Amino acid sequence: MDFQLLDLYTLVPEIFLLIGVSAILLLDLFLSEEQRDVTFYFSLIVLVVTSILPWFFYDADPRVIMNGLIVSDSLGAALKSFLCLLIAVGLLYSKNYLLSRGLHRGEYFSLTLFATLGMMVMISSNHFLSLYLGLELLSLSLYAMVALQRDSGRSSEAAIKYFILGAIASGMLLYGMSMVYGATGNLNIEAIVASVLADDADSTLLRLGVVFLIVGIGFKLGAVPFHMWVPDVYQGSPTSVTLLIGTAPKIAAFAFVLRLLAEALGHPSLHQEWSQMLTVLAVASLVIGNVVAIAQTNFKRMLAYSTIAHMGFLLVGFMTGSMTGYSASLFYVLTYVLMALGGFGVILLLARDGFEAEELSDLSGLSQRNPWCAFLLMIILFSMAGIPPTVGFWSKLFVIQAIVDLGYVGLAVLAVMTSLVGAFYYLRVVKIMYFDENEVSNSAVTYRTGMAIFGVNGFLLLGLGLFPGWLLSLCETLIESSVRTF
């Protein structure tokens, strides 16, 4: 088979998704307001099919295509498949919310799929150029989605903050990449590795480039001290957009950091530099994220600070620079997005026209009004807190084990202590649901499909907690088969 044709053959999932987005944009022109369900279900079909396609078009052994821009491997196939299914579930959660807020439109679905395409490009990138293009496609789509409620001042303010700070972060990343290019003469990950191994790179310029890359990564992950956009954007965005921002991009961010640091800049001399910086970001995120979350009365804002703390755990796994640490981080990010999906999903299910259900007081007495919903949310909160037998316990334990094996006992103790602090605000929500008096007149969830998905979401976290071994083994296999280490 011709080499270029084989390249296109491997990119079938991305090509199919792009064709699907284009079809939705055209289809939406000919639909009336009453027919918007057509684009909704068409988007779901595109996402489900796209989630299946990577398993037919990937290489068990990593193979670089498109003149070094893209890498085809099992890790990329698995992450892209999980990503598309996650976004499809997020759309199902959001259906009634979008209808009641006037967002059930073609532009919402097309922007969602464009963001998905950007994330898929990030996951498979083997070149700084394709990494940056995928990141910008994702970022620009999310900026527009945050501002879709044009009559909401809070959404407009969140969009402006997100855009300005996101542009600064992108500039930092681009500046760091340009310094790495100046030091090595390449933007291709394999060529950068070869230059570092041959000791041809300008070490001073390379290290300076790493500093700017870490700053950009900190912004994109929402790690302290680059976290200032996270609470405002989570609270100000429509909840369906908050669900998207708080889940799927974390998977793409994991792949982004893995390709950028672990593969391109994973040489022991460079690892020593960026691992120290990641440790500082991780410690600050764990402490500030958990402590500030205690003071929050808005559920979305509390989950925003919770996200900051969880990203601290993710960075702890990365700073080890070991296969065990990377596997633990992969396990952590996969389980975290399932928790976040349920956490934001319950806000969508309880919301109704004119009522957002995003204050902690809105959950008061939920066990009396909707015991099934309260029970499932309790499972999700227990998982976020790391309480057994939920999967959140294992995700934290695997990261802590990875750093203890390398002798970082002090960091492990700090992670445990901050997790105990975090347990307070999660358990406070459980107390509000089960012991506070009912302050809401009605919280009936009429969206049966959403409640069924919520049930699966909650019990999946419980099931993975009882049987975590297979997912951890899968994460270890994916990392070992796909990550090129020094």
Within a domain: residue 383? yes
Determine the structural domain holding residue 417 and report its residue range. Answer: 269-486
- pLDDT (0 to 100) of residue 14: 93
pLDDT at 6: 65
Question: Which residue, 187, 262, 200, is CA-closest to 484?
Answer: 262
Report H helices in 224-370.
229-236, 239-246, 248-257, 268-293, 299-319, 323-350, 366-369
Closest CA to 58 of 84, 46, 76: 76
Tell me, yes or no, whether 326 lies in a domain.
yes
Alpha carbons 202 and 18: distance in angstroms, whole number = 40
Q: Which residues are CB-neighbours of 229 under 8 A, at least 6 positions away? A: 161, 162, 165, 166, 219, 222
- Percentage of residues in the chain having pLDDT higher than 70: 96
Q: What per-residue confidence (pLDDT) applies to 486?
A: 57
Residue 356: inside a domain: yes
- pTM equals 0.93
Q: Is residue 29 part of a domain?
A: no
230 part of a folded domain: no
User: Would residue 33 count as lying in a domain?
Assistant: no
What parts of the chain have a pLDDT lower than 50? Answer: 1-2
Crossing angle of helices 106-123 and 74-100, rounded to 10°: 160
Find, among 150, 52, 100, 157, the residue nearest to 352 by Cα.
100
Number of domains in the chain: 1
Q: Per the domain annotation, does 22 fall within a domain?
A: no
Positive/negative CA dihedral, 134, 135, 136, 140: positive
Residues 83/119, Cβ–Cβ less than 8 Å: yes
pLDDT for the residue numbered 1: 42
Note whether residue 26 is domain-resident: no
Could you report the per-residue pLDDT of 102-117, keeping only the tens digit for each?
Answer: 888 888 999 999 999 9
